[in-house]
Amino acid sequence: MNTVSRAALLSRHCRHLDASAALGAEALDAQRSALPDWRVDGGAITRSYAFADYYETIAFVNALAFMVHQEDHHPDLEVSYNRCTVRFSTHSAGGITENDLICAAKADAIFDQRYSGA
């Protein structure tokens, strides 16, 4: 499978997937190369974002909530004072799907736009 770019992931939208949509190891590695800050953790991809304070953390969570609502693909979140850990998996497929990678790229874009000056 060919490597996919972050721009390609950002241009896509989540879609309904059947139970066989979980990515195999080779396909996951090829697509995940566009998301270097994410790690595979069991049947999910995970990233932890750091912030200056609680206000910035919650602002990110709110922006993330808006995006995932639009995509209809919701992560597990762990929120603390200055950190938010995001965990995407597709429960109906029993693993990581393209929808998870799309939302991970969009979460990174939200963070980069607001907190990295990108």
Domains and CATH numbers, the chain: 6-115 (3.30.1360.20)
Structure tokens at 11: 């241009």
State pTM to two decimals.
0.91
The predicted pLDDT at position 19 comes to: 80
The predicted pLDDT at position 115 comes to: 75
Q: If we measure between CA atoms, which residue out of 74, 79, 106 comes closest to residue 90?
A: 74
Q: Tell me if 18 sits within 8 A of 77, measured CB to CB.
A: no
pLDDT tops 50 at residue 118 = no
Please state the rounded mean pLDDT for residues 35-56.
96
The predicted pLDDT at position 117 comes to: 53
The rounded distance, in Å, linking the Cα atoms of 72 and 35 is: 21
| Strands (E) located in the chain | 39-41, 44-50, 76-80, 83-88
pLDDT tops 50 at residue 34 = yes
Q: If we measure between CA atoms, which residue out of 104, 111, 107 comes closest to residue 51?
A: 111
Please state the rounded mean pLDDT for residues 23-34.
88
DSSP-assigned letter for residue 95: B
| Confidence class for position 2, pLDDT limits 50, 70, 90 | low
Higher pLDDT, 39 or 31: 39
CA angle (22 as vertex; 75, 42 as ends), nearest 5: 60
At 90, is the secondary structure helix, strand, or coil?
strand
Average pLDDT, the chain: 92
